[in-house]
């Protein structure tokens, strides 16, 4: 009768309402999951991104993958590669005199000078080598170092006997190439407490051998 039809109609409307609520709930869950799975995590120089593959009813899968390096990691790499230059810059900044020994093919050059006061970095137009140059104000002294060829730096303290029976403490920094051959040596030519503390501090901070 009419009452039975009215009951069926009301039930049908209620079911439709529940179905619409369920669909709206699923859409909300899908949108929320998509937002959660699209954030980025930055930890140190490496950047990682959460990526998701989703359907209408929600995320199907979430994967963690590494993205390309950022400029921060590139800066870090650059800093590591220029460690030799950083150490030489500290020699320059110390303003102490050094006995500079350069051994070439068939010749040895020795001179005593501070590394500066001028200092600059450049690239050789002929070879493309990176050069670190230390020079006096009038350029009567110039010391050029192919800094990228340095693969090891050592800090050595030793005693050298003198003719009068006494001994002299030698504080030497040697710069070696990939073949283990000496490119140059810097011998501290100042025996003051300040210079001694500086050299010992360099040795403690970097270690007696610095592999680059």
Three-state DSSP class for residue 100: strand
Alpha-carbon dihedral 67, 71, 77, 81, rounded to 10 degrees: 150
pLDDT for residue 109: 96
pLDDT for residue 71: 30
Please provide the size of the chain in residues.
Answer: 212
The answer to whether the beta carbons of residues 97 and 113 sit under 8 Å apart is: yes
Residue pLDDT tens, the chain, 212 long = 554 444 444 445 555 556 566 656 656 555 554 444 343 434 343 333 333 334 333 443 333 333 333 333 233 334 434 899 999 999 999 999 999 999 888 999 999 999 999 999 999 999 999 999 999 999 999 999 999 999 999 999 999 999 999 999 999 999 999 999 999 999 999 999 999 999 999 999 999 999 99
pTM equals 0.61
Query: What separation in angstroms does the CA of 129 have from each of 69, 144, 147, 181?
Result: 26, 11, 8, 18
Give the H/E segment covering residue 10.
Answer: helix 2-36
- The backbone torsions φ and ψ at residue 77, rounded to the nearest 5 degrees and listed phi first, read -60, -45
């Amino acid at each position: 009768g009419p009452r039975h039809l009215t009951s069926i109609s009301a039930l049908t409307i209620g079911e439709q309402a529940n179905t619409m609520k369920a669909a709206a709930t699923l859409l909300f869950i899908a949108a929320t999951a998509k937002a959660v799975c699209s954030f980025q995590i930055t930890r140190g120089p490496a950047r990682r991104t959460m990526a998701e593959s989703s359907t209408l009813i929600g995320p199907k899968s979430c994967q963690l993958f590494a993205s390309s390096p950022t400029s921060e990691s590139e800066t870090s790499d650059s800093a590591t590669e220029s460690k030799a230059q950083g150490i030489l810059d500290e020699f320059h900044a110390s303003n102490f005199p050094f006995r500079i020994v350069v051994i070439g093919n068939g010749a040895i050059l020795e001179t005593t000078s501070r590394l500066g006061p001028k200092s600059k970095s450049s690239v050789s137009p002929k070879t493309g080598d990176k050069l670190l140059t230390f020079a006096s104000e009038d350029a009567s002294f110039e010391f050029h170092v192919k800094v990228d060829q340095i693969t090891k730096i050592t800090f050595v303290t030793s005693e050298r006997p003198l003719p009068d029976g006494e001994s002299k403490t030698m504080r030497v920094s040697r710069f070696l190439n990939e073949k283990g051959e000496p490119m140059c040596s810097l011998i501290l030519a100042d025996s003051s407490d300040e210079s001694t503390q500086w050299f010992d501090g360099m040795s403690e901070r970097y270690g007696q051998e610095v592999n680059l």
